[in-house]
Amino acid sequence: MTLRRSSPARPLRLATLAAAAGLLFALQAVPQAASAQQRDPTRSIGETVASRPSPHYAFDRFEVRSADGQRTWRVHVAAPRGTAPEGGWPVFWMLDGNAALIEFDEALLAELAAQPVPHALVFVGYANDLRIDSEARTRDYTPVPGERPVRGGGTITGGGGADALLEVIERQIRPEVERRIETDPAQQTLWGHSLAGLFTLHALYTRTGAFATYAAGSPSLWWGDGALLGAPEQRFTDNNAGRRARVLIGLGEGERQVAHRDLEDPRVQVHLRRIAAAPADSAEKLAQRLSKVDGLQVAYREFPALTHGPMFRASLMWALHAITGIADHSDTPSRADGVDPHG
């Protein structure tokens, strides 16, 4: 197997990073244009392409609840208009579905629908109007418990619900999607960013046959003191036995740089302590190791200057480009910033 370093319109270069006192500090400041920080997680998603009729895709939605009735997921399903191909539509699944919906507009739907074999789209979100439900995603996207910072300083321990969500996807969400649209079980992609990228890799390790492609943007490999980099990875590499899958791993060059952070913020201080569990090159080294696993086709891409927040859109657009065949829009601004990426 070979490791492909994907090439965007502009040349790639590896981030130059230095380790100090267990933390990884940049030697140079991040360019101003790329220093956007995490967007306000409490903002509402507002109107999206799912809110109005589209000439290119037919949108539907449903909700599923956990067995204990305490958690509810809202799922949007978008099928290309027209007759499904023999064998069903290939499907592109997105975690953080509320936030992912914001990144789509009619122009993007038109481009997706114009492909020789368009993909159906599945947005797995939560039954609220939050762009990001931080508490819920921490619970659902992490394979082991861990700490996360809270406003005002300090941490709370939570998470460890990834296997439970995988069961919900397999036993409740996927059957309902298949009931509503014709899907091709052999052509399905799972994409996630940050903690959802961690979840995507956990799904690869534990449900290799569930998807054909696993796309992880800025995966939070530091979670649980780097737990996913230990025994789970080793078990997977020892036992995969040639089962085929495609893996995409993307990282922003500026994600490990701290010149753009407020180092007086207690939450930033906690976060920097946490991410010290995963060296700066963890994602790249992971891609290199996975590329040696028989059956895996692995691509790693580093995005010049981008920090963690902007990588949400960049990694999503790259994955859509790589999987569906549309143009690469990874260098266009996020619609969450109120900017028309096609303007």
> Which residues belong to the active site?
194, 255, 308
In angstroms, rounded to a whole number, what is the distance separating the alpha carbons of residues 219 and 21? 23
Question: For residues 84 and 138, what is the distance between their CA atoms, to the nearest angstrom?
Answer: 36
Q: Please say whether the beta carbons of 113 and 90 come within 8 A.
A: no
Residue type, 101: L
Question: What is the dihedral sign for C-alpha 120, 314, 263, 14?
Answer: positive
Q: Determine the Cα–Cα distance for residues 126 and 132; give it in Å rounded to an integer.
A: 9
Tokens of 175: 């059957």
DSSP character at residue 92: E
Query: Helices (DSSP H) in 104-209: which residue ranges?
Result: 106-113, 134-140, 162-168, 174-180, 195-206
For residue 292, the number of C-alpha atoms closer than 13 Å in the C-beta half-sphere is 8
- C-beta neighbour count of 66 within 10 angstroms: 16
Q: How far is CA 190 from CA 31, 136, 256, in A?
A: 31, 19, 25
The CA radius of gyration of the chain, in Å to the nearest whole number, is 19
Q: Rounded to whole angstroms, how far apart are CA atoms 61 and 69?
A: 19
Place of tokens 């996207």: 141
**C-beta of residue 123 within 8 angstroms of C-beta of residue 75:** yes
Residue 112: exposed, middle, or buried by beta-carbon count in 10 A (0-12, 13-18, 19+)? buried
